[in-house]
Chain A
Amino acid sequence: MTTPRPGERERLFQGGGRMPDLHASGSGVGLPTRHGVDPAIDSDIANPLLRVEALELWYGSNQALHGISFLIPEKKITALIGPSGCGKSTLLRCINRLNDLVDGVRIGGDILFEGRSIYDAELDVNQLRRRIGMVFQKSNPFPKSIYENVAYGPRLHGTTQKARLDELVESSLRGAALWEEVKDRLHDSALGLSGGQQQRLCIARAIAIEPEVILFDEPCSALDPVATAKIEDLMYDLKSRFTIVIVTHNMQQAARVSDYTAFLYLGRLVEYGPTTRIFTKPEKRETEDYVMGRFG
């Protein structure tokens, strides 16, 4: 187990530089802490599902993201925190290329998914979005029945058999802890559900297409504490099956649910590391001020 040199440590976790190729080094570079390397963390990071490499993004002439690099480990929850406008949602929407839909966006740097650039011109973006699902800040069920909402994705991707769809709808709704509440009214409009139920329906809709990654964009910002707790429990359960990236401005939430945390400020990655460390022993002054609630 080798400890990275101090200089390398700087570049790794404060952003602004290009991520060194951890695989290429072949040395099992782990996440450093002030007390050395945690072997569990080391194994997570040795095999990241997604690598964000020197990512930059401009809205027209306005640069929103500045050279962001970090790793997203598989089957863990990675939280992106930071004050409003710091670019965390923008970063999240880069991962499933949803920013493509916004006019005037330019992107530099790269994101690798299983080692392949997602900005490759040859890549089928719809296939990518099928494997990287998303749950939005404001619940956005389609104006269709509960059943049709969940079946929407599978139908798109070619599942037409009624029995198979029924099965998928049930397992997805169970997966989103909504089945018991809606099983008797699957064919009622999804818009009749409460806010928290709608958000869980959106989660069910996302997991129905069996993605590998689910992106959560402040999923609880419009929900009351009870509904929030349900979603958080759900995320904890989903972790065993999916890699989760969550954007939140709620630090307690990040501390409660996530394994890794990235702190963004003014479009730059300030600090990245295991959540416990970020919240207990941050290395940077801005991080400490933010997690202590002194600004943001």
Chain B
Amino acid sequence: MPRSEPNPGPARPLGRRRPDPLGTSLTWLSGASLALSLLLIVGLLVLLAAQGLGFFWQGPVHQLQLADGTRVIGEITATETVRAPANSEAEARRIEEEGAPTRTQLKIGNRDLYGLDFRWIDDSDIVDSTTPADLVMIERLEWGAFFGRLRELRADGRVLATGEDAWREVLRLLPEKAKLRRQVRDLEKGEIGDINHELEELRLAEARIQRAEAQGAPPDDAARARIAARRLQLESRSEALAVERARLQTLLDRERAVFVAGDGRSKEIGAGQILRALRPNAMTTLDRLGVYAGRVAEFLFDDPRESNTEGGIFPAIFGTVLMVFLMTFVVTPLGVLAALYLREYAVQGTTVRLVRIAVNNLAGVPSIVFGMFGLSFFVYLVGGSIDRLFYPEMAPTPKFGTGGILWAALTLALLTVPVVIVATEEGLAAVPRIMREGSMALGATKLETTLRVVVPAAAPGILTGMILAIARAAGEVAPLMIVGMVKLAPSLPLDHHFPHLHLDRKFMHLGFHIYDVGFQSPNVEATRPLVFATAFFLVLIVTAMNLLAISIRNHLRRKYATSAV
């Protein structure tokens, strides 16, 4: 039986495929945009890594013989073509034939002798360039790197060793000296720090008594006497420790190494000052890798030296991470509760819509405005009140009435709370109504349903908000500059003195560290690689914190996947 035609009429040909130039070009355009974005991100990371991480690599040390008879020792850091306009036709012709003149930048170190760490040398002035194996590179506590040759090792005015013996002796001494330096540091941060801490407590206790007496309390001579006795005890102990520290210091610098710089001047450096002594030209690749790892570790885990131009960035890493954690602890409950009210409890209407618009707009307020708010509200008003109420004896020194890590975290929490609210609301909206009804139909109250079903199911959304908040907060610098971030903090906000977490302390931050090292330092050439390295680690840390949050979110997603079947 023939099939009946559903649509009889003239046959409509299917036709040939037509070209679609608009569609094709749009596809290409969108693809190219994505590729460009990816390229920029990868380029950024590669640039930071190359500029920053290259700094820790120990290259060869060159000895240059110049036309004027002088000798320069240093590491080559850059070469460039000099593009100056030719002064005469002859010069122009010579440039035409031989190419433009080039010059080389050398890191010559020895800031105490030369004043500058870097020097540009015209290549035409260089007569001879060699890399002798006996050239020494010293990293020391002060004055930056030293380049030269080791002549002898002295102690108490006598020559201990010369030449190769001296070099072997220096290498043998270095671990001992490092141990001594650790002892000195432990003494200062440990017992001496504790004594100073207790002396300060005593001072405050005395001030409290004084205040109480001024307000009419009976004089408490017994307490005063106790304080005086304890102070005397502490002061005598402190003196003993000072003597011990001085003894260690002399021990540290008992041996002194005498070096000869490139220009023939000699320089005596205490063995205790030397952090690392290398003969770069005699090093194998394995040695270099070892030095590289050591330097990266120092950079990550040591305190900064020489007004942040040397040493590590540990306090800045610590401050950044701790501040972001504190911020997260504040912003997550705040944002989640606000979103819960907006989505679950508030009657949806004009008011809620207006509130939502206001919240979204809050995210667009420039961050420095939040900084101003944090300064005037948190620091001056809240912090000032806390000081007046709870720490009157400390006046006029503020405790909470000045910038600190708590106020910085709260300021950033305000800055990022809209992000958390919006993401949480989206997460809550994605929980199907049938899920809530299922819980209510079992006799659960609204609160029980919210806590046991809705919030767990919305947890991935909440985590997304947290991730965005962390990403935003970790990169924020401007508002922190006025609420407690400093270029050099004397102590970490976390230590062994009660109550361990000192929320009132000022802190260091990687973002500000980059600005400070890169643009506030007198020695810009020397610190430029540090800026890149710090930026690289800032990106790395923010990424690490995000990855941690993302992995938690993915775990929750698997656990609370809401799509049935």
| Chain A residues within CB distance 8 Å of chain B | 96, 98, 101, 126-130, 133-134, 136, 138-144, 152-153, 156-157, 189, 191, 194-195, 198, 202, 205-206, 209
Contacts and interface: CB of A to CB of B under 8 A. Distances in A.
A153 B440 contact: no
Given A101-B437, A143-B560, A143-B562, 16 more contacts: A96-B441, A126-B444, A129-B442, A130-B442, A133-B441, A136-B438, A139-B565, A142-B453, A143-B435, A143-B457, A144-B560, A152-B439, A152-B452, A191-B563, A205-B442, A209-B443
A190 to B, nearest CB: 9
A129 B443 contact: yes
B398 interface: no
A138 B564 contact: yes
A194 B565 CA distance: 7
11 contacts: A98-B437, A126-B444, A130-B443, A136-B437, A142-B438, A142-B457, A144-B456, A156-B442, A189-B561, A198-B565, A202-B438
Interface in B516-565: 559-565
Contacts of B452: 152, 156
A195 B564 CA distance: 9
Contacts of A130: 442-443
A139 B564 contact: yes
A191 B443 contact: no
B441 A98 contact: yes
Interface of B: 432, 434-445, 448, 452-453, 456-457, 559-565
B407 to A, nearest CB: 39
Contact of B442 (A144, A194, A209): A209
Contacts of A209: 442-443
Contacts of A96: 441
B352 to A, nearest CB: 13
Nearest to A143: B560
Contacts of B435: 140, 142-143
Contacts of A144: 456, 560
A127 B443 contact: yes
Contacts of A136: 434, 437-438, 441
Contacts of B432: 140
Nearest to A134: B441
Contacts of B563: 191
Contacts of A198: 564-565
Contacts, number: 79
B256 to A, nearest CB: 70
Contacts of B439: 142, 152
A95 to B, nearest CB: 11
A126 B563 CA distance: 27
Nearest to A135: B441
Nearest to B432: A140
A127 B436 CA distance: 17
A128 B436 CA distance: 17
Contacts of B456: 143-144
A79 B561 CA distance: 34
Nearest to B453: A142
A153 B442 CA distance: 6
Nearest to B348: A103
B387 to A, nearest CB: 47
Contacts of A152: 439, 442, 452
Given A129-B443, A130-B443, A138 B434 contact: yes
A183 B559 CA distance: 20
A195 B563 CA distance: 12
Contacts of A126: 443-445
Contacts of A156: 442-444, 448, 452
A202 B435 CA distance: 11
What 7 A-B pairs are tightest by C-beta distance, nearest first? A130-B443, A134-B441, A140-B438, A153-B442, A143-B560, A129-B443, A140-B434
Contacts of A139: 564-565
A194 B564 CA distance: 10
Contact of A157 (B434, B443, B565): B443
Nearest to B558: A189
Q: Which has the most chain B C-beta neighbours within 10 Å: A96, A130, A143, A198?
A: A143
A206 B453 CA distance: 16
Given A143-B457, A152-B452, A129 B441 contact: yes
A127 B445 CA distance: 10
A152 B435 CA distance: 13
Nearest to A128: B443
B440 A195 contact: no
A138 B437 CA distance: 12
A223 to B, nearest CB: 11
Contacts of A141: 438, 564
A138 B564 CA distance: 9
A127 B559 CA distance: 30
Contacts of B565: 139, 191, 194-195, 198
Contacts of A157: 443
B353 to A, nearest CB: 16
Contacts of B564: 138-141, 191, 198
B444 to A, nearest CB: 5
A144 to B, nearest CB: 8
Nearest to B435: A140
A96 B442 CA distance: 10
Contacts of A206: 441-442
Contacts of B453: 142
Contacts of B438: 136, 140-142, 202, 205
A191 B445 CA distance: 24
A114 to B, nearest CB: 17
Q: Which of B438, B440, B456 has the most CB of A within 10 A?
A: B438
